[in-house]
Chains A and B, each alone.
Chain A
Amino acid sequence: MKLALIGQPNCGKSTIFNQLAGYKSISANFPGATVSYTLGKFYFQNKTIELVDLPGTYSLSWYDDAEKESVKALSSMDFDCIINVLDASTITRGLELTLELISLNKPMVVALNMMDEAKKKGIDINIAKLEDSIGVKVVPVIAKQAKGIKDLINAALKASPPIKKCIYSKRIESLIQNLEQCLESQAGSLILPPKLIAIKAIEGFSACEEIVSWYPKCQNLLEATRVLLNNGVEVTKERHALCLEIFEYSAKVKDSQGLPLSEKIDEILLHPILGYVSLFLIFIAIFFIVFEGGSPFESLIDKFFSFTEDYFSKNIHNAFLLSVTKGAVDGIGAAIGIALPYLVPFFVILSVLEDSGYLSRIAFLMDSLMHKIGVHGTSVIPFIMGYGCSVPAVMATRIIKDRREKFISAFLATLVPCAARTTVIMGLVAFFIGPIYAILLYLLNLIVIGIAGIVLKKFLPGINPEILFDIPPYRTPTIKTTIVKTWYRIKDFVYVAIPLLVGGSIVLALIDYFNFAKYVNFVFMPFMELLGLPFSIGIVLIFGIFKKELTLLMLAQALGLSSIAMVSKVLTVEQIFVFTIFVMFYIPCLATIATLYREIRLKGTIIITLSSVLVATILAFITHLLFLIV
């Protein structure tokens, strides 16, 4: 049994998915949070059921890569039932997709989600009437609270194709049918049902027009039809009118009293002046929460691990064994002691930002500024995700339609210091020199991103696309989702990064033991000389390519120190700055490079990788020079 979840962006598909198949699909409160489909399995009444969470799409004509993924999956995978998720609070718009799905003529059910929000808006939907007007079984659910999910699956298992097949007026329906029959007779097999291709081609969706153009006879028919239907607008208008009609027939709207709460919040957060002040304050607050939440733990845990190491030094007498054990303890200590204390508060905040609906509002506020660097407001989403991890950030560029803009966004998103690099900034600059200098580094980073954007905009000519998306309502993030989401992100760190760190630490200890490091460091000597860094940390930068945290965690070891807390005794303030700035920009980690390759192909990936090394070197060198002058 294979079920698909499909619906418009931000209607709660991933929330339903996660309720059924465990937390696998990152849900968030902005359109386009899911950019590729997620597969899950669950057991229901002793049956194994496969569930596919598809990226949200407004209609079956795709606009960006994420939507294309949905339509492709919908037509290529053989689903036993389509679960169409509808946001009850914006039902008129959502019905447009429902009507298109009906023309696929496959078993389907409608999951009417966010019934609670609709009620708050004063919308009261009569389920029986809605079912009657669309000819599809409708199950009301509140996905966030897991209400109605069982009924939904029960209905999906028994689902049948829609009862009503004709949804347009007789005149339009017959014109569609003519084209459909033409396609059926001319074409062997098509990637989409011929009826859908016919409708979409008449409406002027280029991908479907192209398919029709392969068959000259149908192409002539299409042209004639489009003339008859005012370039296809009549189809769109009629479908929209039908949606309104269904809404009026099946729903009652009560006047809500006064200004809704979200409007009041928007009065401040989207205000021409107060909006930017709030944005600034929110970012400063986030910074301090992450730093203040992290640093006490860092010193505490560091003490514990120094103590453990002392214990081992006294009790293990075999030099080889000692260096390996020390390597392992260093690795674990560094991972738990330095990275986790900063990562946990950061991921909690990121999750709240995503689920509250504020991200899209930042996009609105920042749009005109973003235009100056060759992208538009929507790119704020990959940028902010970039502070978490570059991998989802690069993936989030899928919601950007324009190729050039997607490249610029991916490029700039990789320059944003991810959580791993944040641990380096926090653990070195904020910890040893002062939090205010760490803030300055973040500002420097923003300036560099700005300049990089302006340069890219200049060298990659093209039309600047405009912002266009729907703003989600404010929603209160649930504690459960926040915890689960934070864990989901930390899990990667625990399962992937910690073994890598421990392994890396041991390898480094071995390299040290066999005196091998000097060869590696020898190669980097001229480079380190240029930046005024100690030669012994050349090897650290190599490890950093695997995982950025490694650069901090292995620094102490490479310098021959027993703990990170002693770094300031060996490195000067200048060297800490130079090192941190270099690490902040140089080469994306392997996982990011792999993701870049998937999203923007080889050439773009090479350009981004090489330029980042160049940018890092230039900035680190300038910092070195500045210190020489001062």
Chain B
Amino acid sequence: MRLIDCEVSQEVRVVGFDSGCRSKERLLQLGIIPGVILKIKRLAPFSGPLIVSIEGSDVVLGRGIAKKILVEKI
């Protein structure tokens, strides 16, 4: 499943990225790395971005990017 399909405050594990994910480098730098557990904290209205928390820090990412992050339930 994709990160965008997850519910708020559900914990999921990152599996990988879609090919053609142009932000992969930055995602890795921000700690969104395959194997890591993350959680959606908040969704902005008007199809705005989401805030996910990973290992104690919060990252804002657009929905387009969230579509390209593959995750699995734990």
Contacts and interface: CB of A to CB of B under 8 A. Distances in A.
A90 B30 contact: no
B5 interface: no
Contact of A205 (B25, B27, B35, B60): B25
B48 A365 contact: yes
Contacts of A365: 44, 48
A229 interface: no
B6 interface: no
Nearest to B17: A233
B56 A63 contact: no
Given A96-B29, A205-B25, A467 B62 contact: yes
Contact of A368 (B28, B46, B61): B46
Contact of B26 (A63, A89, A204): A63
Interface string B28-56: 11110111100000101111110100011
A309 B48 CA distance: 57
Contact of B29 (A63, A89, A241, A363): A63
A364 B56 contact: no
B23 A468 contact: yes
Contact of B49 (A90, A96, A236, A367): A367
Interface in A103-129: 121, 123
Interface string A31-59: 00000000000000000000000000011
Chain B CB count within 10 A is highest, among A89, A205, A272, for: A272
Contact of A270 (B30, B36, B42, B59): B42
B53 to A, nearest CB: 10
B70 interface: no
A125 B61 CA distance: 30
B62 A93 contact: no
Nearest to A61: B25
B58 interface: yes
A468 B26 contact: yes
Interface residues of B, number: 32
A470 B26 CA distance: 11
B60 A364 contact: yes
Nearest to A92: B55
Contacts of A63: 25-26, 29
Contacts of A132: none
Nearest to B45: A272
Given A59-B29, A240-B31, A368-B48, A90 B65 contact: no
A449 interface: no
Chain B CB count within 10 A is highest, among A93, A266, A377, for: A93
Contact of B62 (A90, A266, A360, A468): A468
Contact of A471 (B22, B29, B58, B63): B58
A369 interface: yes
B44 A236 contact: no
Interface string B1-37: 0000000000000000000001101111111011110
Nearest to A273: B45
A236 B64 contact: no
Given A237-B35, A270-B42, A369-B46, A363 B60 contact: yes
A375 to B, nearest CB: 12
B56 A467 contact: no
A406 interface: no
A369 B25 CA distance: 26
Contacts of B27: 468
A228 to B, nearest CB: 17
Contacts of B65: 466, 468
Contacts of B64: 466
A469 interface: yes
A195 interface: no
A187 B35 CA distance: 36
A93 B60 contact: no
A467 B29 contact: no
Given A360-B60, A469-B60, A93 B48 contact: no
Contacts of A466: 23, 49, 61-65
A470 B59 contact: yes
A368 B51 CA distance: 14
B44 A368 contact: yes
Nearest to A206: B25
A92 B51 CA distance: 19
Interface in A367-394: 367-369, 376-377
B61 to A, nearest CB: 5
Contacts of B63: 466
B38 to A, nearest CB: 13
Nearest to A205: B25
A621 B17 CA distance: 53
A616 B51 CA distance: 39
B57 A468 contact: no
B49 A467 contact: yes
Interface string A417-433: 00000000000000000
A167 B16 CA distance: 24
A469 B59 contact: yes
A568 B14 CA distance: 65
Contact of B60 (A123, A237, A377): A377
Contacts of B30: 58, 93, 468-470
Contact of A93 (B22, B31, B42, B61): B31
Nearest to B56: A90
A369 B48 CA distance: 8
A173 to B, nearest CB: 19
Interface of B: 22-23, 25-31, 33-36, 42, 44-49, 51, 55-65
Given A93-B57, A368-B46, 14 more contacts: A58-B29, A61-B25, A63-B25, A205-B25, A233-B34, A241-B35, A266-B42, A365-B48, A367-B49, A368-B49, A467-B49, A468-B26, A468-B61, A470-B59
**Which 5 A-B residue pairings sit nearest by Cβ, starting from the closest?**
A466-B62, A58-B29, A368-B48, A368-B46, A272-B45
16 contacts: A63-B25, A90-B56, A237-B35, A364-B44, A364-B48, A367-B62, A368-B44, A466-B23, A466-B64, A467-B60, A467-B61, A467-B62, A468-B59, A470-B58, A471-B59, A471-B60
